[in-house]
Structure 1
């Protein structure tokens, strides 16, 4: 018999006052949205450059993006902003695919790719309702390695922005996860100790290892249900919905917290 999908696959959730979340591929299925946007813009570029196929453009961009973002500190950090980094990645990828765009064309293309991703995000009623209930009991926040403009836009597009009391965007603000700094910044914003916080994320090295090193209790969203690659017990779920269901059940037994009037 399969285990209850709404129960954690490892240790039970600890008692906490605060729950913090990653955005990309945790709160929002960014990977699928990113892939659809990439296929659309690659097809448009291929139409304008008949000598290069959409498949080549897409695969070259994926390889370039993985290489440069994977080496962010050395390859992109010096550019100073997420906008400049995204532009550079596309410029390198297109050059490797044999396409040269003028400055104005490149800017329009990069903006189109980013806007397609944000516009594709839709609120999930059950998720919005879960956060509405959780916010009555827990302090809620976000810690993301992305940039402020796009990450705030994603959260707003998903209908979740009313429920987060802090959104820490690490890109352009010094250290990125798994460094402790973004985690501790969120704790400072909410006036809580790290051990009072749960952190929910999908990346083992960035989210789970980073949160644990910073003193928070990590929860791993892992669609395959695979066992943790590292040592130490880790609460994990196969999807966000299951995690939110358990959190909501926990919240049902707690008193509604007092908050400042807004």
Structure 2
């Protein structure tokens, strides 16, 4: 039986929407209009800094502590604010509130419901144990997954072959039956290719920079690949 592993953020859980709502609430609660020209300015700087930090984490340059404890320090430094207490409050608020948001990518729940009837499903993510489990619980999709593998629990980060090997052993799978569905070409697709897994590139933006063994623009297309 094929074992289908999903990336979580940007593939099933709508990170952009959920983070955006959280940031808007924080902007108002902490009166951040004192430092930013408007809400869009705050969100833009968050995205720039957050994307850079996660890229550095994925390639092994920094650890979890750097993201969690310094992300909002970098954001506030961008507008010449060096209030470390405020930055830490923002960090704590984001870590608590963002994972509790419930918005999923289009058709995610419908597809999970369909695929779970015929396949064993899992999660493989570079996110952290505590936040990823909260996301699964609050978005009410945790019951679909038999296995949840994180960079923390495995000791490795996608695209490293080791996290895919760990997952293969953990679920007792056969290499030819292992499939990952993810949005990131570098961490999900190329990582899977190097580990001998099959991969499905979730490409909702319809980018044309590369190809995968399989590609979908909407999650609703997934059942047709396997059923």
Normalising to structure 2: TM-score of the pair? 0.84
Evaluate the alpha carbon distance shift between residue 196 and residue 96 of structure 1 in structure 2; reply closer, same or farther with a 3 A threshold.
Answer: same
Moved segments of 4+, more than 4 Å: 122-127
Q: Deviations over 1:132-184 (max 9, x none)?
A: 44333212111000000001111112221112111011147532111112212
Kindly name which structure, 1 or 2, has the bigger radius of gyration based on alpha carbons. Answer: 1
More helix by share: 2
Q: How does 1:171-186 map to 2 (within 5 A)?
A: 171=152, 173-186=154-167
| Residue of structure 2 in register with 1:8 after alignment | none
| 2:52 equivalent to 1:67 | yes
* 1:44 Cα deviation from its structure 2 partner: 4.1
Look up the SS of the partner of 2:4 in the other structure.
strand
Distance, in Å, in 1 between the alignment partners of 2:207 and 2:42 is 32
Does the CA-based 8 Å contact 2:128-2:151 persist in structure 1? yes
Look up the SS of the partner of 1:211 in the other structure.
helix
Evaluate the alpha carbon distance shift between residue 37 and residue 227 of structure 1 in structure 2; reply closer, same or farther with a 3 A threshold.
Answer: same
Q: How does 1:139-150 map to 2 (within 5 A)?
A: 139-150=120-131
Distance, in Å, in 1 between the alignment partners of 2:17 and 2:92 is 19
Distance, in Å, in 2 between the alignment partners of 1:17 and 1:91 is 44
Evaluate the alpha carbon distance shift between residue 44 and residue 179 of structure 1 in structure 2; reply closer, same or farther with a 3 A threshold.
Answer: same
* 1:39 Cα deviation from its structure 2 partner: 3.5
| Residue of structure 1 in register with 2:217 after alignment | 238
Distance, in Å, in 1 between the alignment partners of 2:36 and 2:92 is 21
Distance, in Å, in 1 between the alignment partners of 2:3 and 2:35 is 54
List gaps (5 residues or longer) in structure 1. Answer: 1-15, 251-262
* 1:34 Cα deviation from its structure 2 partner: 1.7
| 2:182 equivalent to 1:195 | no
Look up the SS of the partner of 2:34 in the other structure.
coil
| Residue of structure 2 in register with 1:50 after alignment | 34
Q: How does 1:84-233 map to 2 (within 5 A)?
A: 85-103=67-85, 105-122=86-103, 127-128=108-109, 130-171=111-152, 173-227=154-208, 229=210
Look up the SS of the partner of 2:117 in the other structure.
coil
Evaluate the alpha carbon distance shift between residue 67 and residue 130 of structure 1 in structure 2; reply closer, same or farther with a 3 A threshold.
Answer: closer
RMSD: 2.7
| Residue of structure 2 in register with 1:6 after alignment | none
**Which of 46, 55, 76 is 2:62 aligned to?**
76
Distance, in Å, in 1 between the alignment partners of 2:41 and 2:114 is 46
* 1:214 Cα deviation from its structure 2 partner: 0.8
Does the CA-based 8 Å contact 1:20-1:142 persist in structure 2? yes
Evaluate the alpha carbon distance shift between residue 42 and residue 187 of structure 1 in structure 2; reply closer, same or farther with a 3 A threshold.
Answer: same
List gaps (5 residues or longer) in structure 2. Answer: none
* 1:122 Cα deviation from its structure 2 partner: 4.4
Number of equivalent positions: 225
